[in-house]
Amino acid sequence: MNANLKRTIEEAVLPPLVALVVALIVGDLLILAYGQAPSAVWRLLIDGTWGNAYGFGQVLYKATTLTCTGLAVAMSLRAGLFNIGAEGQLAAGGFGAGLAGLALPAGTPAFLAVPICVMAAMLCGGLVGAVPGALRAKFGAHEVIVTIMLNFIVLALLNYFVSAKLHVPETLHTPEVHAGGLPRLSNLIGVFHGSAANWTIVIVALAAVAAWWFLFKTRVGYELRAVGLQPDAAEYAGVNVGITWRNALIVSGALAGLGGINFVLGYKGYYEDGFSGGAGFLGIAVALVGRNHPLGVVIAALFFATLSQGGLAINAMVPKQIVEALQGIVIVAVATSVPEVRRILRNAVSKSGGQH
Amino acid sequence: MSAPLSATWSAPNDTKALAVRMTGIDKRFGPVRANRGASLEARQGEIHALVGENGAGKSTLMKMLAGMFAPDGGTIEVGGRDVTGWSTAQAIGTGVGMVHQHFMLVPTLTVAENVVLGREPVSVATFDAARAIREVESLCEQSGLQVPADRLVADLSVGEAQRVEILKTLYRGARILLLDEPTAVLSPPEVTELWNVLRRVRDGGATIILITHKLDEVMNVTENITVMRQGETVARMATRDTSPEGIANAMVGRDVDLGVKVAHGGARAMGAPALHVKNLVVRGARVERAVNDVSFAIQPGEILGIAGVEGNGQTELLEALAGLRPAVSGAMSLGERDITALSVRDRGDAGLSHIPEDRHRRGLILDYTIADNLILGQQHRFTSGAAMDGAAVMAHAQSKIAEYDIRPTDPLLAARTLSGGNQQKIVIAREMSKPFVALLAAQPTRGVDVGAIEFIHGELRKAREAGKAVLLVSAELREVLSLSDRIAVMYGGKIVTVLNRADASEEILGPFMTGARREVTA
């Protein structure tokens, strides 16, 4: 039992740690190339993120969105599918939350308004996820292609709705929501003052726990992971593989959509075109580094949020693009060592290779 | 306990020059010690059997000889030269070729293109297709391996594909041929053909090392035998000085009963059949009527064996019965109940158990734990509300692991880490410990070791004695003959004859299996 646990932990934790070490070494070299001392730059990065309340608040804020998109990608990968559409689903979720907040009359009590807006976000994200899910289940259309293409369609549609129908003049955002706004953490803990961290973090933490429970403790989760590992064996076990795929992408989309409330309800109070800003794509990296485990996703989201916030802090000494390079290195290093990715690549190769 | 194994180190036939000498080979994969001081000596111009239970380390030893990975300790000599830790390219260059259990061919290329791949004949910087075909045809002629050189590999039968694999190694000038369970996928005539070819290659002075589980093959075609157990070489013997029992005892480390028990229709009760199939038609992946108007009935307490060369509709028949493939027409019933329109899960609940033919693809989720695999297909019976009942799953696992002697006994180990025999025990334990009326057993002993075969056959007999109906499909004719009460032969999607066990023998069934004889019975 203990030996098993130890091996599981080693298998789960070792690749990301090695990736981190590799990234740090390459980062050292890059910083040296700019004539700066690596230790000073790293110190600055830590000071600017985990070293003060504002920086830490910003890390929490960014990690909240990334946790949602990371959970979304992890959920799909557990079912054997690669959801590249978290970007569009995140935006659609934010739009849904914003619309619900606008539609509700001002003064709706929070205990009604917040759940309604959260549901609207998950519903819109889930709807965007349902399209590739249904196409995959019914026609076998490859979800990677469909989700990538759907990103463009969804983002363009949202842009049209906002710019043509809903925007405040001279801006690309909607008016402020009447109800459903979430308070900042700084209202409760003063030192977070100025940071965007808000109560979304509690909702998302609950979502991560729920995702873990669903995946590893429920019958449907057992069946979903079976489909992801060996669809033929799942079919043998009486699981409808197509329906499982469809449902997994709906849940995946809903999780990404949930991330939209962080900006819309928690930070700005309105939907703004382009707010997703790559957080959906970064969710792929978060899921990979987090090894498709909800706890791993939370840790990986904190890591990527730290890098992203830290990039701003070290900008004075070295270009902030260095942290983007580090992100890339971590992703490549993890992607080449993670079994899930290798299996999906292998399946893709054997499918195109025919019967042998 | 049999005689001490050291006594079986009889002097092998050593008049010929040594081609391969492996001594003190160690190899470890993480916590698993696949080889522990294993050794092997094979001579020029011999067919050498390498036998042992699953997980004994045979394939590992051969892969190191073929340069696929380096040993942690020990030396490998080929033709008297130390080649320890060489690469596959060096191995191929020196004339060592391996034919793998799973073919490594490009299905979209022709036979000739596959054979010459890596050493293509070239004229003026372009691939000389005509010369490739000529060369491969002449190689076919010399070796006796008949395959149409210009056909696509995707269109070949399994037996033909294997011939292409052997041609490939010969084309590269292999003088030492390693074959990993070459007959697992072949029909009896194809097996005979393979032996003829291998004997011819051997008579040309080559060395052939054969990994196999089938002891009759060992007795028939080999000169010397190396036996491995748990990573060690435990015996080396000359084939003419030993017997199948002697080999099996060395493999398992205890006395094994290989006696082919003739079936007896024990508790068979006449009346309503437990499993009834009527005019079933099933579409295959490539064939319109892979199962073509098949009807049969199995009584409670009866084993109906289906003999036949693989690919004659057996797979589609079983998938249709299990609910994994729709029936085009016809009806299936379990006892009184029509199951034709039921889902996989409902059929299971109605009393159908299924040991699928490919446990790695269908029968197990290899990355799931033993405990989770022991409930696969019955997961809906182990729930409390939406959640799985973890305590019930573990209790179930512990009792089945003990009852079916699954090793290792830790229910939280991934099924992937178990040997083939123990993996199959998980499937058997799961399918035979739930309430069932009829059992579909497809290739129940494929790729498992002698000890596990004995156990699985015992379980199938127990099911019969308990009044279950068993449909047994096996590529092993001897298995069908030793277990079945009646034997049906499938050829071209039809049942071409049904014989009582007493009326059947390999000689009688052979012509039906190859389509030379048919008498479609009602």
CATH of the domain at B515: 3.40.50.300
Are B377 and B444 found together in one domain? no
- Rounded Cα–Cα distance for residues B122 and B438 (Å): 59
C-alpha to C-alpha distance for B459 and B299, rounded to whole angstroms? 18
Lowest mean pLDDT among A20-34, A51-65, B244-258, B288-302: B244-258
Does the pLDDT at position A352 exceed 80?
A: no
Specify the amino acid at residue A13: V
| Residues A333 and A106 sit within 8 Å (Cβ to Cβ) | no
Residue A333's pLDDT is 79
CB contact B361 to A (< 8 Å): yes
How would residue A3 be classed by pLDDT, with cut points 50, 70 and 90? Answer: low
- CB B154 to CB A354 under 8 A? yes
Domain boundary among B380, B401, B434: B434
User: Span B421-426, mean pLDDT?
Assistant: 92
* Rg value, chain B, Cα: 24
Residue A4 is predicted with a pLDDT of: 63
Mean local confidence (pLDDT), B221-239: 91
Domain residues for the domain of B86 are 1-95+207-253
Q: What are phi and psi of A225, to 5 degrees?
A: -65, -35
In terms of DSSP H, where are the helices of chain A? 2-33, 38-49, 53-78, 86-103, 110-139, 143-161, 200-217, 219-229, 231-236, 241-258, 260-261, 279-289, 294-313, 321-337, 339-353
What whole-number percentage of chain A has pLDDT above 90? 68
Does the beta-carbon distance from B366 to A230 stay under 8 Å?
yes
Q: How many CA atoms lie within 13 A of A13 on its CB side?
A: 8
Of the listed ranges A31-40, A302-311, B281-290, B356-365, the least confidently predicted one is: B281-290
Whether residues A226 and B410 touch (CB distance < 8 A) is answered with no
CA angle, A316 as apex, A312 and A320 as ends, to 5°? 45
First-to-last C-alpha distance (Å) of chain B: 50
CB B83 within 8 A of CB B90: yes
Interface test with B, best of A214, A236, A244, A349 (most B CBs within 10 A): A236
For the segment B410-418, the average pLDDT, to the nearest whole number, is: 91
| Lowest-confidence segment of A264-268, B200-204, B429-433, B509-513 by average pLDDT | B509-513
User: What is the three-class DSSP state of B101?
Assistant: coil
Residue of B nearest to A354 (CA): B107
Question: Are both B338 and B441 inside the same structural domain?
Answer: yes
Which residue, B434, B457, B475, sits at the end of a domain? B434
Q: What is the mean pLDDT of chain A?
A: 90
Query: How is residue B409 written in tokens?
Result: 């006994």
> Residue B161 domain-assigned?
no
Per-residue pLDDT reduced to its tens digit, A200-241: 999 999 999 999 999 999 999 999 999 999 999 999 999 999
**Confidence at residue A73, expressed as pLDDT on a 0 to 100 scale:** 97
Query: A231-259: per-residue pLDDT in tens?
Result: 999 999 999 999 999 999 999 999 999 99
Do A233 and B364 lie within an 8 Å CB cutoff? Answer: yes
pLDDT of res. B3: 39
Residue B311 has pLDDT above 90, yes or no: no
- B340 and B448 co-located in one domain: yes
State the smallest CA–CA distance between residue B375 and chain A in angstroms: 9
Q: Does residue B415 share a domain with residue B339?
A: no
- Pick the range with the lowest mean pLDDT from B18-22, B265-269, B283-287, B466-470: B265-269
Q: Which chain A residues touch B326 with a CB distance below 8 Å?
A: none
* pLDDT of res. A356: 36
Contact between B377 and A238 using a beta-carbon 8 Å cutoff: yes
B377 and B246 share a domain? no
Inter-chain Cβ pairs, chain A and chain B, closer than 8 A = 84
Residue B264 predicted with pLDDT over 60: no
Q: Do B388 and A222 touch (CB under 8 A)?
A: yes
Shared domain for B274 and B391, answered yes or no, is no
Q: The domain containing residue A213 runs over which residues?
A: 2-353
- The answer to the question of residue B189 being in a domain is no
User: Does one domain contain both B80 and B10?
Assistant: yes
Predicted confidence (pLDDT) at residue B85 exceeds the cutoff of 50: yes
Our count of domains for chain B comes to: 3
Residue A310: name the closest of A58, A49, A43, A63 by CA.
A49
Average pLDDT over residues B175-203: 84
User: pLDDT tens across A141-156, in order?
Assistant: 999 999 999 999 999 9
Instruction: Tell which residue, B230, B209, B278, has the closest CA to residue B63.
Output: B209
Residues B321 and B457 in one domain: yes
pTM: 0.75
- Residues in chain B closer than 8 A to A353 (CB atoms): 106-107
> pLDDT confidence of A350, banded at 50, 70, 90?
low
**Are the beta carbons of A229 and B372 separated by less than 8 Å?**
no
Residues B230 and B291 occupy one common structural domain? no
Same domain for B411 and B278: no
B331 - beta bridge partners? Answer: B278
User: For position B8, what pLDDT does the model report?
Assistant: 42
Weakest mean pLDDT among A147-151, A231-235, B365-369, B505-509: B505-509
B284 touches chain A (CB under 8 A): no
Cis peptide bond prior to B273, omega within 30° of 0: no
> Which residue among A4, A223, A238 places its CB closest to the CB of B344?
A238
Best of B104, B365, B370, B383 to substitute, by most chain A Cβ atoms within 10 angstroms, is B365
B104-158 pLDDT, tens digit each: 888 889 999 999 888 888 887 888 888 888 989 988 888 878 888 888 888 887 7
Option in B366, B383, B410 nearest A219 (CB): B383
Would the CB atoms of A217 and B364 count as touching at under 8 Å?
A: no
Structural domains in chain A (count): 1
Chain A CA closest to residue B342:
A238
| Lowest mean pLDDT across A36-40, A347-351, B158-162, B494-498 | A347-351
ipTM of the complex: 0.86
Contacts A213 to B, Cβ<8 Å: 387
Give the CATH number of the domain where residue A292 resides.
1.10.3470
Tell whether B80 and B2 lie within a shared domain: yes
Which is more confident, B353 or A351? B353
The minimal CB distance from B380 to the residues A219, A235, A354 is found for A219
Residues of B in contact with A233 (CB under 8 A): 361-365, 376
Nearest CA to A85 out of A143, A156, A160, A157 is that of A143
Q: What is the pLDDT of residue B53?
A: 74
**Closest residue in chain A to residue B162, using alpha carbons only:** A356
Q: Which residues of B touch A235 (CB under 8 A)?
A: 324, 344, 362
Minimal Cβ distance to B379: which of A219, A229, A235:
A219
- Average pLDDT over chain B reads 86
Interface of A with B in 209-238 (CB under 8 A): 213, 217-220, 222-223, 225-226, 229-230, 232-238
Residues B425-475 have pLDDT tens digits of 999 999 999 999 999 999 999 878 888 888 999 999 999 999 999 999 988
Distance in angstroms (rounded) separating the CA atoms of residues A263 and A92: 12
Which residue, B408, B434, B460, sits at the end of a domain?
B434
pLDDT of B351 reads 94
Q: Are residues B227 and B328 in the same domain?
A: no
